[in-house]
């Protein structure tokens, strides 16, 4: 294979950071590719029986879109994708596919990666900077600005911070979960959420467990989405009760619930509690990813 792209999963919103805050995780999608006479797609891992193997595949759509925008030949690829990111669980699987497809186009036709340009195109396709920002740049990213002035701004992250993920077996439609969130909230709710966001940023920068517990104070999206996802709500309440964890939040639109870990590995404790509640879910500990999208390979004439 001539080209190789790797993109991290992301966990977004992080409580009060609705559509503005996201973190890259060390769960990485990889795609290898070579020029071919027709599209060929091999899929491994999550979604390998569900995702399309033709030009309706999101990664291929992103590749084609950038090629057309740049006036590059849309050369078909022989594509091999290994995806460990669960689909429809609020861990940025769509953002990872889009970033990977755009990166393949840049690498194949330009020979190098422009992260800023990639971010702008990915945001235009995916629409959620809190996912594509960390997927592109890595680390903790805050989305600022609007329209053509939108930027992904890195934020401080203490090296002790890890993320415990509880991933239910059931997926949810992101589109549907956006529909349950109101277009506007009261001024009081805006203020409470803004204060909580600054506390969460402080907690992530300083590994401060008390500040990180402000994740649950969000009033912008979590109350509405948790009400629509009873199983995730039960997991959320359970994680908030555990002293081993420093704050819980709904990852993206759900169904995954994340919690901050500042020391040790509480997975066994959480698995026991989840099993005792009768919920079927995967529990795993993830570390933040600092690299974002990475590429290697040769320029294709």
pLDDT tens profile 216-248 = 999 999 999 999 999 999 999 999 999 999 999
pLDDT at 300: 38
Write down the pLDDT at residue 113: 76
Please state, as a whole number, how many other Cβ atoms lie within 10 Å of the Cβ of residue 295.
17
In sequence order, the β-bridge partners of residue 28 are 8
Q: Do 93 and 213 reside in the same domain of the chain?
A: no
Best CA proximity match to 276, nearest among 225, 242, 226, 229: 242
Task: Return d(Cα 16, Cα 29) in angstroms, integer.
Answer: 27
Residues 12 and 137 in one domain: yes
- pTM score above 0.85: yes
**Domain of residue 212, residue span:** 162-286
Overall number of domains in the chain: 2
pLDDT at 17: 97
* 266 and 180 co-located in one domain: yes
- In what side-by-side order are the strands of the sheet with 281-286? 248-250, 257-261, 162-168, 281-286
- Please check the confidence at residue 156 and state whether its pLDDT lies above 60: yes
Question: Tell me, what CATH number does 172's domain have?
Answer: 3.30.70.890
Q: What is the mean pLDDT of the chain?
A: 92
24 and 142 assigned to the same domain:
yes
- Kindly report, residue by residue over 249-293, the tens digit of the pLDDT: 999 998 999 999 999 999 999 999 999 999 999 999 999 999 999
Q: How high is the pLDDT of residue 173?
A: 73
Give the residue, 218 or 178, on which the prediction is more confident. 218
Among the listed residues 213, 214, 229, 221, the one whose alpha carbon sits nearest the alpha carbon of residue 166: 229
Query: Residue 59's pLDDT is what?
Result: 96
Based on DSSP, count helices (H) and strands (E) in the chain, helices before strands.
10, 11
Same domain, 146 and 214: no
């Amino acid at each position: 294979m001539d080209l190789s792209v790797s993109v991290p999963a992301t966990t977004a919103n992080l409580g009060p950071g609705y559509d503005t805050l996201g973190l890259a995780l060390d769960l990485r999608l990889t795609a290898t590719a070579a020029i071919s006479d027709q599209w060929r797609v091999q899929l491994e891992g999550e979604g390998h029986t569900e995702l399309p193997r033709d030009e309706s595949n999101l990664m291929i759509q992103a590749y084609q879109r950038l090629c057309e925008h740049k006036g590059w030949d849309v050369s078909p690829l022989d594509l091999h994708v290994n995806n460990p990111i669960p689909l429809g669980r609020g861990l940025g699987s769509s953002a990872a596919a889009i970033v990977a497809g755009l990166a393949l186009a840049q690498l194949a036709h330009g020979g190098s990666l422009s992260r800023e340009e990639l971010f702008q195109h990915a945001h235009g396709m995916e629409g959620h900077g809190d996912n594509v920002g960390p997927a592109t740049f890595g680390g903790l990213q805050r989305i600022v600005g609007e329209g053509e002035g939108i930027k992904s701004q890195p934020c401080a992250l203490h090296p002790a911070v890890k993320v415990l993920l509880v991933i239910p077996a059931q997926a949810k439609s992101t589109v549907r979960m956006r529909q349950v969130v109101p277009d506007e909230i009261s001024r009081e709710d805006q203020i409470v959420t803004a204060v909580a966001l600054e506390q969460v940023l402080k907690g992530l920068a300083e590994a401060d467990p008390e500040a990180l517990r402000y994740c649950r104070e969000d009033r912008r999206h979590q109350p509405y989405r948790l009400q629509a996802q009873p199983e995730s709500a039960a997991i959320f309440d359970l994680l908030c009760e555990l002293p081993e964890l420093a704050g819980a939040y709904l990852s993206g639109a759900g169904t995954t619930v994340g919690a901050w870990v500042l020391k040790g590995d509480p997975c066994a404790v959480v698995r026991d509690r989840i099993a005792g509640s009768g919920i079927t879910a995967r529990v795993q500990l993830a570390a933040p990813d600092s690299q974002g999208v990475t590429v290697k390979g040769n320029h294709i004439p």
